[in-house]
Structure 1
Amino acid sequence: MNKTQNTFITSSEFTFFLLSSFIGIGILYLPNSVIKDAKQDGWIGCIIGAVYPLYILILANYTCNKFPDDDIFGLSKKSLGKILGNILNLIFITFFIFVTSTELTGLANVFKIYATPFLKDYQIFLPLLTIAAYTAYKGMKPLGRLCKLIFYLALILLFLPVATLKYGTYLNLMPVFGSGFKNILMSSKETAFFYCGAEVAFFIYPFLQDKSKLLKCGLTSTVITMSVYTWFTFLAIYYLGIEISPKFLWPILTLADSINIPIINSFRYIFISLWALVVLRCISIYYFSSCYGMNRLINKTSPQTFALILCPIILFLSSLYGTPTRRRNYTDMIMSFYLIYNLIYISLIVILITFKKGGNFEKK
């Protein structure tokens, strides 16, 4: 998981790396989160919510320009001292461990309800976590290639829901801006959780071959993610309406049920299978991030060792969330803390490296 093992990643791999960290299990119930405040204008909230990853990526680009070979873990210790820097770094790392566990539970919940109700939680957790751990163990370069491959395999998920347009009605989207600008802004705050993932840029950019393309790659991945979120939310509101959509745990899966292919009995299972690859890719990214962060915290232990150590920890955490509704309640509460913390932590480091200049600071 270092430069000698995996050399550098290309700009396209970096873009797909960011994309994979953005899109996870949350998109399946994203429409319900924005409908709560913005009603029929929820899809507009998805667009405004992209401000969060853009802000994070702009700061990452600025940091990369000033310290192209230092990631945020090293800059934190330079700016705040070893003790305080490591404490803040550890909290930052727990964010990735938490997301790994909640994504794993979310995917297992979908499998239990729609595909494999006869399996117990641990029987779903173990194979999924083993794949994620193995992928993280192999390092950044193979992981970047995997992200790129799964993106192209999952493109079908973006185009097939077009079929739902003939069943819905535009009246479900009317009146546009009828919910009020304040409510639309409130819904955009709800999307901040779904846009989490840009934070990985702060420790991946030292591995980027052409660092001048960081912001371009970041903008590309953000625009694609925003388009996917807006598109799926738009379709859910158009097809189900704001009254029916909240009645489903995962309204996006309901869109899959509306797709009729003559030779296929139920498209839902194909949709879930393809989407499982997308979520598994996301879990692998956060698992890798957790291992890499722990290695930067404790240099004497390799990232590969942490890939083994974290496995039972994440397995235990994943077993605590329970039902889909309980998991969402826990996730919303904990993610609110992490979003605020990440913003403060990252902004603080950027401010400190801006004003702390001089030879001693540069050589630390």
Structure 2
Amino acid sequence: MISGINLGEMEMNNREKILKENDYNLTSSQYTAVVFGTMVGVSTISITKGIVRYAHQDLWISTAVGAIFPIYIFILTMVIFKKSPGENILTLNRKYFGKFAGGLLNLILLVYFLITLLIIGNTYIDMITTFSAGFLSPFKVALAVFAVSAYAASNGLRVVAKVSQIALYLTFLLILPSIMALKEAKIINIYPVFESGFSGIVNGGIEAFKQYLGIEIIFIIYPYLKQKDKMAKVTVNAILLTTLVHVWIGFISVYYLGSDVILKSDWSFLLVTESVTISLINNFRYIFILVWSLIILKSISLYYSALLFCLKDFTSNKFQYKILAFVVLPLLVLLCIEFENIFPTEEILNFITISYEIYLIFLGTLMAITVSIKSPKEQRKN
């Protein structure tokens, strides 16, 4: 009787383990979509806003220079991955730096994902209420978007990854029609090339770093890639696709609008979509905003998942993701509504963003060095 009970418990535990693996293990295409999805979202259509101040008509070159940031994060991750393929950075921080220091490093990462989630959520609310649903209150929009994201994130990383796959295809379907803007663009808008000089392009590239934020999610999710031998290939594919999207949006925006117009516009690529005319579609811009909203929902769901990973590091193992996802929901809605009071100026947000860029580079570099030094010692001991 006792052995029968133990056998039943073992079978139940095995089923739970299989369920968990199915919920979180990612295929190569899903992994690519997740990494791409964290870097392409709400701010992508306004990517030119900050860069144009430095690079002017060369801003599209600066968007390519900005790809240095995800490439460096990728290199660091590969070093960590080769030494500890089954443990993500949250586990490694506590393993190598202890409960207190490791917990502090994880807490800073948690706050980063929280703030990024609020920034995306607030920007999404602004876009929706400005361009398509002004009759809705910010509270209703925030509640709807975070509730949907909480539901998606609570069902496991694989569900969010499948949504990310759809969003990846939608991203290219939405951007492809902007090719039509080429016939109305003026080549003088991008000439002379390199006029902003080396320093202008580099400074624009540094500004473009923030458009690639999100790549750091690979610090957390790499153990969940099924085909670990394809880690390098799928991550590089995601970075290349992201860079392609950013460079094209930067190029077509300045080519069609010119740097002077971009300086005065918060959503420059939306102005480009006005040039798109498709039979049977009266207003492509409206369609664009509607579909892009779904892409932003994907981004919010991804960052919601990353936040849950960090929160789980500070909670009991019995505290399930499904419960955790909805426990933090009211807090996220409240913070998003109070966003303007928490972060009253753009300068504060820029400072926070730059600070976290530096922190992510520091954290990744520190861990890459640590595992390179300590991992061989651990192997010799074993």
TM-score w.r.t. structure 2 length? 0.90
Cross-structure match for 1:153: 170
Give the secondary structure class of the aligned counterpart of 2:43.
Answer: helix
- 2:354 maps to which of 315, 330, 336: 336
Q: Which residue of 1 aligns with 2:109?
A: 92
- Unaligned stretches of 5+ residues in structure 2: 1-15
Say whether 1:348 aligns with 2:366: yes
> 1:359 aligns to what?
378
Match of 2:223 among 195, 202, 206: 206
Which residue in 1 is equivalent to 2:6?
none
Cα offset for 1:213?
Answer: 1.1
Q: Which moved more, 1:283-292 or 1:305-314?
A: 305-314
Distance 1:294 1:58 in 2: 26
Question: What are the within-5 Å matches in structure 2 for residues 272-283 of structure 1?
Answer: 272-283=289-300
Distance 1:20 1:2, change over 3 A: farther
Query: Is 2:125 aligned against 1:77?
Result: no
Answer yes or no: is 1:249 the counterpart of 2:274. no
From 159, 162, 179, the counterpart of 2:179? 162
> Is 1:235 matched up with 2:252?
yes
SS at match of 1:130: helix
Describe the superposition over 1:254-298 as per-residue Cα deviations: whole angstroms up to 9, x where unpaired.
Answer: 111121234322111100011111111011000001001111232
The TM-score with structure 1 as length reference comes to 0.95
By how many angstroms is 1:70 displaced? 0.8
Q: Letter of the aligned partner of 1:78 in structure 2?
A: K
Amino acid in structure 2 at the alignment position of 1:350:
A
Asked whether the equivalents of residues 64 and 211 of structure 1 are also in contact (C-alpha less than 8 Å), the reply is no
Matches within 5 A, 1:57-72: 57-72=74-89
- Structure 2 counterpart of 1:186, from 185, 203, 214: 203
1:27-73 C-alpha deviation (Å, 9 max, x unpaired)? 12111211110011000011111010111111111111111111101
CA offsets per residue over residues 53-102 of structure 1, 9 Å max, x none? 11111111111111111110111111111111001101111111111111
Report which of the two structures shows the higher radius of gyration computed on alpha carbons. 2
1:118 aligns with 2:118: no
**What amino acid sits opposite 2:378 in the alignment?**
G
Structure 1: runs of 5 or more not aligned: none
Structure 1 residue 46 corresponds to structure 2 residue 91 = no
Distance change in 2, residues 1:108/1:231 (3 Å): same
CA contact (8 A) 2:79 2:372 kept: no
Counterpart Cα distance in 2 of 1:265 and 1:362: 69
Mapped to 2, the partners of 1:331 and 1:208 lie a distance apart of 33
Q: Deviations over 1:145-185 (max 9, x none)?
A: 11112222332212111111111111100111110011100
- Superposition CA RMSD, Å: 2.0
The whole-number CA distance in structure 1 between the counterparts of 2:206 and 2:137 is 35
Aligned pairs, how many? 362
Over the matched positions of the two proteins, sequence identity in percent amounts to 28
**SS of residue paired to 1:68:** coil
Give the 5 Å matches for 1:293-304.
293-300=310-317, 301-304=319-322
Deviations 1:215-255 (A, max 9, x none): 11111111111110000110110111011112122111111
Structure 1 pair 299–3 and aligned structure 2 pair: CA distance change class (3 A) = farther
Structure 1 partner of 2:242 = 225
**Residue 5 of structure 1 pairs with residue 20 of structure 2:** yes
Aligned to 2:328: 310
Task: Work out whether 1:37 is the aligned partner of 2:54.
Answer: yes
